[in-house]
Structure 1
Amino acid sequence: MERRTVFSSRSSRVARGGLIAALALSIAGGVSPSGAFAADDEPLIYYPTFSGASKTLERNGSADILTSSGRLHQRILRLTAGGYRQVGSAWSRTKLDLGESFESTFKVYLHHFQPGADGIAFLVQDDGPRALGGWGGGLGYRGIVRSVAVEFDTFQNSTDPSNNHLAVVMGGNPDHHSAVGEPSIPLYGKPFLARVNYDADSNDLRIYVKSLRAGSEEELALQTTVDLADEVGSSSAWVGFTAATGNALSKQDIYSWTVDGSGA
């Protein structure tokens, strides 16, 4: 089974430790990886920024790689750009082995209009690298049947508990939540860090969130049990993000993304 970095330039490989330290400072204290992954393990996917990612990420719909405004001024993945009924998805070209434990960490900023809609989702899916789902409450993954989604939802549709919740969803149907969590931090209007941890032996799935304010602590926002390989229908899957807007709008950005796991 192959293990490789999806994106790592020569300079980033040489200075990987320095980049990680700089990233941690830029997000005001990042989340430490779980003890299941050794510090010297090479990440399967490694984007401290999305510079150069146009060669290694499949992007669909409204998803784009661009330079952010503001102080950071870095290359980011923008899934929706603040337009009506936009849908975007982005997938790593390296498939993830679902029979092995993995952990994914990503910095998110959902912003622009009030109220913001509709949110993003982190997915493992076996529909393929062109997979793109429905707009609005579909969060860009409605109809991606061979999938498990972790959604970060910022708009309350009729089947949602609130306008600030997480959910695990099977089979590309966001109208039916397998598990739901409501974090204490806002998912919209302020950047946050998310960490998805999966234990393949116990099928334990945990989603953590952390505000980027100084002194903030990570919180466990949702925990459930799911056999990812069984739900996806494959021992491996593409991994990435979807997002959508409807009649309420937002810019939905990913600033950094790593996955520690095994390639298929």
Structure 2
Amino acid sequence: MTSVACNFLFCHLSRVLQNSGNFLVLTLLAAGILLPAQAQVKLVGAARKLDENRYRLTRELPATAGAAWAENTIDLNDPFEINFDVFLGCGNNNADGVAFVLQQKGTKTVGQIGSGIGYKGISPSLVIEFDNYLNEFESFFPSTETHVAIVKNGDNDHLSGNTLAGPVVMSPQKAGSSRQCKYHKVKVSWEPASQTIDVYVDEVFTLSWTGDMVNTVFNGKPDVYWGFTAATSKTRINAQGVLLRFKPLNLNLSASSPNCAGGNKEGAITTKVNGGIGKYNYKWSNGATTKNLNNLPAGTYTLTLTDNWGNKATETVSVSAPAELQITDIIKIGVNELYNFKCSATGGTPPYSFRKGYAILNGEPAQQVSALDFKKYDNNAKLVYEQDGTATLDAYINNATIQNPVAIVGFITASDANGCTTTQFMPFDLRKYPLPLPPEPVASIAALKIDSDNLQEQPRLQPDEPALPNLAASSDTTQIPHTTNNLDNVKLVYTERNVPATLNNRTVKTGKRMVINSETVNLSVWDDEYDDGDTISIYYNGEWLLREYRLKTKPYHITIKVDRNADNYLILYAHNEGERPPNTAALTIDDGKSSRRVALSSGLNYCDALNFKFKKE
């Protein structure tokens, strides 16, 4: 053997030659170091593994062939680049060469010996051959130097139509050296966008082929096995091999968080990979096998990436959860009105928007629900929002019966800039219908507020029904109002338009009005719904009709006079708010022609009022 300067592969091959005689050796290395032990390589024919990542492709016997295949396939829809150094032996008796092969026969195949270089007969295939012997059928080629060609379907006859590019001299600038124990750097790259495969030798462009490889060579199937083959002839034997070089496998993960907290699966992880060899295999800690992950909840995820030759890289990334959107600072802004609440919000992504509404239950859930456990039943509730109007809400309330009761509770839904939402129920605003009936002779309340001059009239009592007793007639069966002197100094302040403004520094609400037909009106007053300890006084046209009277479920009756030419205001003054705020009194007003019902509600800083007006003739 000719003596040459010692480099890694040549010295390695020299030691093998000294120990084992002449045979073809394929040694695979990654970035200057031996490939990892887990490299997934299938050896065929005369190939044997001598030690870690060192493979003998042909024995020291003539007429042998061997192959080393990656067990994982390459997808030709993806680009690839494979770099290796090819060593074609020493002296003038070396043969027959090394080939880089893409094929679909699997990992147990090997082609013909001699000029077949271990690939002849493997079809379908695409082969880049490095042929270091000029055969008789290649006499047309003008040089005996090692030549390079791209062929398909295992056909080594360069005069056939299966030679796609070449043959060309491998290193014309180094003529005479391609057989003299030299390394030659080779780069093979495939770009599916341009459908071009390029071959560079010693960093010089050597040849290329452009064509639809998937369809014209591999019959529309993009997954191919790849590897190297080599062969010896009957008379020519020499050690040949390759040093496989590639960039280290590099993995980068970037995560985006879900838009909303609370387990929403809107997170994503994007993967960027370079280096390594061939097709990548992805194995995530959550069991996924795709390159990128979508629809993820917050959490920690680990990717183990394996390339086509068994190299691995691992990286972990966290998908963080955004701050949970929460409703805060709930404030009750009214007494008995609908939608009497407001709030603020934190968390999520500002700005926030809010929608008020009522959740409606009917039937058995309405009987069972309480203010503190309404959320247990919210899947059965119908939601009505403030902007939807009151028609639906009124229909449920008006149709409520003892057999089919209705419960409503206020709620607020907060939304943030990402469309995340949260809903909170208002336990202080739970209402149940129908309302409890007061004792005879007064019927139950049909309405809780009056907002127009046209109140619905109730049927007049029939002649054979007992009339409402006046104060004197009922004194033996009705509680006599308790009187004290602490109201004597209470002052009623009027506005410039002569409308009551404040009573004892409490704001007077004057929006309710009732049109009557007589100067004499009989009033009945009792506790709305049930006796919860409400204590009231009633102020009417400058006088106290009742002083510190504790409401009962049994009506108390009063007869009043109405001035035709004045505004007559009856004001409910609350001394407490009972067990269920606010202080609410039910009244029946009978003017001799019709009987109507209304409820007045007062708190400790405001008074509800009712204005009596004569019907215009």
| Same fold (TM > 0.5) | yes
Any conservation in 2 of the 1:78–1:254 contact (CA below 8 Å)?
A: no
Partner of 1:164: 146
Using the alignment, how far apart are the partners of 2:46 and 2:38 within structure 1?
14
Normalised by the size of structure 1, how large is the TM-score? 0.71
CA contact (8 A) 1:76 1:256 kept: no
**Offset at residue 208 of structure 1 (A):** 0.7
Q: Which amino acid aligns with 2:223?
A: S
1:1-264 to structure 2, matched below 5 A, reads: 47-48=30-31, 49-52=33-36, 56-66=40-50, 75-112=53-90, 114-160=92-138, 161=141, 162-176=144-158, 177-180=163-166, 181-184=168-171, 185=174, 186-188=177-179, 189-210=181-202, 218-230=203-215, 231-233=217-219, 234-246=221-233, 247-258=235-246, 260-263=277-280
- Deviation (angstroms), 1:113: 5.1
**Higher radius of gyration, 1 or 2:** 2
Query: Is the Cα–Cα contact under 8 Å of residues 117 and 230 in structure 2 kept in the other structure?
Result: yes
Q: Which ranges of 4 or more aligned residues in structure 1 deviate by more than 6 Å?
A: none
Displacement of 1:263 after TM fit? 4.1
Which amino acid letter does the alignment assign opposite residue 179 of structure 1?
A: A
CA contact (8 A) 1:106 1:256 kept: yes
- Aligned partners of 2:36 and 2:278: how far apart in 1? 21
CA contact 2:145–2:178 (8 Å) conserved in 1: no
Name the CA distance, whole Å, in 2 between partners of 1:81 and 1:110.
16
**Alignment check: 8 A CA contact 2:73 2:278 kept:** no
How many residues end up aligned between the 2 structures?
Answer: 210
Moved more, 226-235 or 241-250: 226-235
- Where relative contact order (Cα < 8 A, 6+ residues apart) is larger, the structure is 1
Native 8 Å contact 2:102 2:127 kept in 1: yes
Residue 164 of structure 2 aligns with an amino acid whose one-letter code is S
Q: 1:168, 1:53 → 2: CA distance?
A: 32
Who is 1:17 aligned against? none
Assess, with a 3 A threshold, how the Cα gap between structure 1 residues 183 and 148 changes in structure 2: closer, same or farther. same
8 Å contact from structure 1 (residues 148, 168) kept in 2: yes
Structure 2 CA distance for aligned equivalents of residues 46 and 232 of structure 1: 29
Residue identity in the other structure for 1:83: L
CA contact (8 A) 1:76 1:255 kept: no
Does structure 1 retain, via aligned residues, the 8 Å contact 2:88–2:241? yes
2:84 and 2:186 in contact (8 A); partners too: yes
Q: For 1:82-132, what per-residue CA distance to the aligned partner results, in whole angstroms no more than 9, with x for missing partners?
A: 431110111101100011111111122221553210001001100110110
How many angstroms does 1:78 deviate by?
Answer: 3.6
Q: Distance in 2 between matches of 1:236 and 1:108?
A: 25
| Paired residues of 1:105 and 1:193 also in contact (CA < 8 A) | yes
Q: Which runs of 5+ in 2 are unaligned?
A: 1-6, 10-27, 247-275, 282-617
Higher strand share: 2
Partner in structure 2 of residue 7 of structure 1: none
**In structure 2, C-alpha distance between the alignment counterparts of 1:88 and 1:223, rounded to whole Å:** 26
Instruction: State the identity as a percent.
Output: 29
Question: Is the CA contact (8 Å cut-off) linking 2:84 and 2:243 kept in structure 1?
Answer: yes
Task: Kindly provide the amino acid, as one letter, of the partner of residue 157 in structure 1.
Answer: N
